[in-house]
Chains A and B, each alone.
Chain A
Amino acid sequence: MLKIKTPKSGRIKRDLEKRAPKLVETRKKTLILHGTKTSSVLNSVLTEIHHLKKDNSIKYSRRNDKIRPFESGGETSLEFFSLKTDCSLFVFASHTKKRPNNLVIGRFYDHHIYDLVEVGIENFRSVGSFSYDMKLAPQLGSKPFFAFIGEAFESVDELKHLKEVLLDLFRGEVITNLNLAGLDRVYVCTALSPNRVFFSHFALRLKKSGTKVPRMELVEVGPSMDMVVRRHHQPDDSLRKEAMKMAPDSTKKKEKNVVKDDILGKLGKIYIPDQKVGSVPLANKSKGVKRERREAKAAKGEGDNPTTPKKQKQDSE
């Protein structure tokens, strides 16, 4: 016998609906955690990434022993966490002698590992080491610009993968309407060599220029580090194909108030709101403001006769 179980409170129902698969997906949550051993560099890297993505990231503070993303049995813990927290991106830090300052960035599809990129962090400079005018600091959650420099991003497989993953990690929500006044950060990745990327974060300053487009000025702020690509794991072709499936095009919006008539052709209806007779504010026609009066006064000032007979204005108000 089966029983229908429904949530008893609206909050739980809304949470469940948020976690359900949607036709068009907008935001991805990130899980930040570390393994058996971390270094101070890695600790600050993790906290800074967490700050950059404050709204949609979850940071675990305890160490997790059994996680080895690149081994076949070692990702069950990760998948369980992804299921519980509904995260589809993760950043996993670990520090070993063989791979010092190791950071694994990965994605999930349907709460199973989709792809992984392993980078080593070198030459890390944290947010505190940059001094800049506090007014320029980028706001939390603003949509960032991205700049990728170097042909290696196109030619080398690993860097191409890293580019995709970094874009996914930092781009935030996919939106259609953007407020141009709220653009204030840029992430810049420069390929220094086929396996080394210089990643940095700048604040934007929009300066007045002659045209509509303001002049951009970059101020270094935020973490900067060298990423050395170590390993990466691409998904199978079939899995990739399934994950890249797009939602079918939504049905076109119905054109309202338009009727196609056989005889008359295309007819449209226009609805005019009621005229508010009686509550329209009157124009500001106070005596001193009227242009004729001002001009007359100016002319009078030059003229001789101060007392001119008052003219009767017939035309209207």
Chain B
Amino acid sequence: MAISFLLGFGVYAVSPPPPTSALQHPPSPLSLSHTNRVTEMEEAQYEIDLGNLTAFDQHHQFASPPTSREEIVKETIEQATKLVQAVADALFNLPSTEDPDGPLVKLPPPTAKFPREKPLPKPRPPTQWEVFAQQKGIQKRKKEKMAYDEQTGTWKRLHGYDRVNDDNDIPIIDAKATDEPGTDPFAERRKEKKSRVDKQEGNRLKNLKNAQKAGALPSHIQLAATALPITGTQSQPKKVSKDVLQNVAGMAATATASGGKFDKKLPGEKPLKHEKKYRKYLPAVEGSGMGTIEKQQTENVLNRLMSKHSHQILNVEKAVNMYNVKREKHQRRQGGQSSNSGKFKANKKSFKKTSNKGHSSSSKGKSK
């Protein structure tokens, strides 16, 4: 029977030696029938996973249905011993190194796959500096810990206490030709350093935000919102878009009397979309008397007024009634002198037509 090996690391089938070589095993005082049974069981192939020290016997069946608990236990012990022996065989045959505690063996990786407990970590996106360095081809260089300080003539450390080129240690700064007399160069240096530090902090925050977007924030860092939005939720305040921001200045400008004309503008701010107030003045000089533009304006206004509010301005029915009453009085005074005074029936229709340019006749649904 040939010994067959499966591909792959820790799992291989232990194929049993042929019956004839059973004699190679340590001699057992048991009868031949027992050794036959043993070899028969060994015919089975055990699946061995060395990385996990596991042996799995697929083909075992209880020779007789187990009667009592002790039977089960005994059978189990026997089978288990064989399985463990098989694993140990493979294990002890691995190349081992000596150690004061005992022989050390390098285990192959386990074959049985288990699910992860946490998702795979995502790779961090490159920082702003890394992108720039890659573009320019800048290589990283190892920095020395100490540097030679010419002022004192000793080797000092680069960062930390008593360092080289410390800003606070400079006693005298020579004035350059470009310097103005009133400025304090020490204060200038301090301001520059502060601005550099703040810029770096801003860049660091930007890099971390990018990492957070990619899901790769370092485990010990958290980005927390310092001010909660008015809605009271934990979400970040909604970002305002560029166009809205550009119009905000214009919107605020209309609050001023001059329409934002004299407001101080930041560099790069675009001119307002609608300068000045929303008021158009007519030209001062244009023809004599009422200029055409002014006439048109007033006409427009009047027409609109009349058309909308005609029913309020002229109560047609009342006017007609009054006219009729007046006429009757007049006729009565004159006696029955002229009897062919036809009463004027109110020609409601025509009036309504001229006044209502497309409006509904009843005033019920109208809003005033």
Q: Could you say which residues of chain A place their CB within 8 Å of the CB of B66?
A: 192
B76 touches A150 (CB 8 A): no
Identify 7 new A-B residue pairs, CB closer than 8 A, beyond the known A2-B224, A150-B57. Answer: A1-B225, A6-B221, A25-B118, A183-B88, A198-B76, A213-B92, A243-B116
* Contact A244-B55, Cβ < 8 Å, known A5-B223, A16-B220, A21-B121: no
B250 in the interface, Cβ–Cβ < 8 Å? no
Q: Could you say which residues of chain B place their CB within 8 Å of the CB of A180?
A: 91-92, 96, 102-105
* Contact A151-B223, Cβ < 8 Å, known A178-B107, A209-B26, A245-B116: no
B52 in the interface, Cβ–Cβ < 8 Å? yes
Q: How far is the CA of A218 from the CA of B92 in the complex (A)?
A: 18
* Contact A149-B219, Cβ < 8 Å, known A20-B121, A179-B102, A244-B115: no
Q: Could you say which residues of chain A place their CB within 8 Å of the CB of B117?
A: 25, 28, 88, 107-110
Segment 73-89 of B: residues with Cβ below 8 Å from A: 73, 75-77, 79-81, 83-85, 87-89
Q: Which chain A residue lies CB-closest to B99? A: A179
Please report B residues at the A interface, Cβ cutoff 8 Å: 26, 51-61, 66, 69, 72-73, 75-77, 79-81, 83-85, 87-89, 91-93, 96, 99, 101-107, 109-110, 112-121, 204-205, 208-209, 219-227, 236
* Contact A149-B57, Cβ < 8 Å, known A168-B114, A216-B81: yes
Interface size on A, residues (CB 8 A): 77
For B75, B221, B226, which residue has the most chain A Cβ atoms within 10 angstroms? B221
A190 touches B115 (CB 8 A): no
A167 in the interface, Cβ–Cβ < 8 Å? yes
Q: Which chain A residue lies CB-closest to B46? A: A147
* Contact A5-B222, Cβ < 8 Å, known A171-B52, A178-B107: yes
A317 in the interface, Cβ–Cβ < 8 Å? no
A175 in the interface, Cβ–Cβ < 8 Å? yes
* Contact A218-B81, Cβ < 8 Å, known A19-B219, A213-B88: yes
A242 touches B57 (CB 8 A): no
Q: Name which of A35-43, A138-146, A268-276, A294-302 contacts chain B.
A: A138-146
Q: Could you say which residues of chain A place their CB within 8 Å of the CB of B219?
A: 16-17, 19-20
Q: Which chain B residue lies CB-closest to A224? A: B73
* Contact A109-B115, Cβ < 8 Å, known A23-B120, A245-B120: yes
* Contact A21-B120, Cβ < 8 Å, known A179-B99, A213-B93, A218-B80: yes
A114 in the interface, Cβ–Cβ < 8 Å? yes
B80 touches A2 (CB 8 A): no
Q: Could you say which residues of chain B place their CB within 8 Å of the CB of A202?
A: 77, 80
Q: How far is the CA of A209 from the CA of B105 in the complex (A)?
A: 20
Q: Could you say which residues of chain B place their CB within 8 Å of the CB of A212?
A: 92-93
- Choose one: A151, A167, A213; the contact of B54 (CB below 8 Å): A167
A144 touches B221 (CB 8 A): no
Q: Could you say which residues of chain B place their CB within 8 Å of the CB of A210?
A: 26
Q: How far is the CA of A91 from the CA of B292 in the complex (A)?
A: 94
* Contact A147-B110, Cβ < 8 Å, known A5-B222, A21-B121, A220-B77: no
Shortest distance between the CB of A82 and any CB in chain B (Å): 9
Q: How far is the CA of A20 from the CA of B92 in the complex (A)?
A: 36
A3 touches B55 (CB 8 A): no
A281 in the interface, Cβ–Cβ < 8 Å? no
Shortest distance between the CB of A21 and any CB in chain B (Å): 4
Segment 5-22 of A: residues with Cβ below 8 Å from B: 5-7, 12-13, 16-17, 19-22
Q: How far is the CA of A145 from the CA of B54 in the complex (A)?
A: 6
Q: Could you say which residues of chain B place their CB within 8 Å of the CB of A171?
A: 52
- Choose one: B51, B53, B96, B223; the contact of A2 (CB below 8 Å): B223
Q: How far is the CA of A114 from the CA of B115 in the complex (A)?
A: 9
A200 in the interface, Cβ–Cβ < 8 Å? yes
* Contact A151-B222, Cβ < 8 Å, known A21-B120, A240-B115: no
Q: How far is the CA of A175 from the CA of B50 in the complex (A)?
A: 11
Contact with B along A147-170 (1 / 0, CB 8 A): 111110110000000001001100
A279 in the interface, Cβ–Cβ < 8 Å? no
- Choose one: A20, A146, A192; the contact of B72 (CB below 8 Å): A192
A147 touches B79 (CB 8 A): yes
* Contact A175-B113, Cβ < 8 Å, known A3-B226, A180-B92, A192-B72: no
Contact with B along A197-230 (1 / 0, CB 8 A): 0101010100001101111111010001000000
Q: Could you say which residues of chain A place their CB within 8 Å of the CB of B75?
A: 190
- Choose one: B77, B205, B236; the contact of A218 (CB below 8 Å): B77
A148 touches B56 (CB 8 A): yes
Q: Which chain A residue lies CB-closest to B58? A: A151
Q: Could you say which residues of chain B place their CB within 8 Å of the CB of A259?
A: none
- Choose one: B73, B84, B96, B113; the contact of A204 (CB below 8 Å): B84
* Contact A154-B72, Cβ < 8 Å, known A177-B107, A209-B26: no
A182 in the interface, Cβ–Cβ < 8 Å? yes
Contact with B along A230-267 (1 / 0, CB 8 A): 00000100001011111100000000000000000000
Shortest distance between the CB of A302 and any CB in chain B (Å): 43
Q: Which chain B residue lies CB-closest to A7? A: B220
Q: Which chain A residue lies CB-closest to B97? A: A177
Shortest distance between the CB of B62 and any CB in chain A (Å): 8
What are some 15 contacts across the A-B interface (CB < 8 A)? A2-B223, A5-B221, A19-B219, A20-B121, A20-B219, A25-B116, A109-B117, A114-B115, A147-B56, A147-B80, A148-B57, A164-B114, A180-B103, A190-B72, A244-B116
A33 in the interface, Cβ–Cβ < 8 Å? no
- Choose one: A1, A110, A145; the contact of B84 (CB below 8 Å): A145
For A19, A88, A176, A178, which residue has the most chain B Cβ atoms within 10 angstroms? A178
Contact with B along A95-121 (1 / 0, CB 8 A): 000000000000111100010000000
Q: Which chain B residue lies CB-closest to A200? A: B76
Shortest distance between the CB of A86 and any CB in chain B (Å): 9
Q: How far is the CA of A207 from the CA of B58 in the complex (A)?
A: 27
For B56, B88, B117, B209, which residue has the most chain A Cβ atoms within 10 angstroms? B117
B226 touches A2 (CB 8 A): yes
Shortest distance between the CB of B77 and any CB in chain A (Å): 5
Q: Could you say which residues of chain A place their CB within 8 Å of the CB of B83?
A: 147, 149
